[in-house]
Amino acid sequence: MTVDFTPMYASHDAFRRDLERLAAAVAEGRAHTAPVRAGWENFKHQLHIHHTAEDSDLWPRVRARVAGRVRELALLDDMETEHGRIDPLLVAVDAALADRAVELPDLVRALRATLDDHLKHEEDRALPLMGEVLTGADWGAFTGRIRRTQGVRGAAVFVPWLVDGVSAEERGRVLGAFPPPVRVLNRVFWEGSYRRRGYWVVR
* pLDDT on residue 202: 61
Please, what's the b/e burial string for 164-199 (b: 16 or more CB within 10 A of its CB; e: otherwise)? bebeeebeeebbebbeeeebebbeeebbeebeeeeb
Task: Annotate 43-75 with DSSP letters as a single string.
Answer: HHHHHHHHHHHIIIIIHHHHHHHTTT-HHHHHH
Q: How confident is the model at residue 201 (pLDDT cuts 50, 70, 90)?
A: confident
Within a 10 A sphere around the Cβ of 18, how many other Cβ atoms? 23
Question: What is the per-residue pLDDT across 144-168, written as a single tens digit (0 to 9) for each?
Answer: 999 999 999 999 999 999 999 999 9
What are the structural domain ranges in the chain? 6-197
Which residue type, as a one-letter code, is found at position 100? Answer: R
Question: What is the per-residue pLDDT across 62-103, written as a single tens digit (0 to 9) for each?
Answer: 999 999 999 999 999 999 999 999 999 999 999 999 999 999
Q: Is the domain covering 6-197 a CATH 1.20.120 domain?
A: yes
- pTM score, whole prediction: 0.96
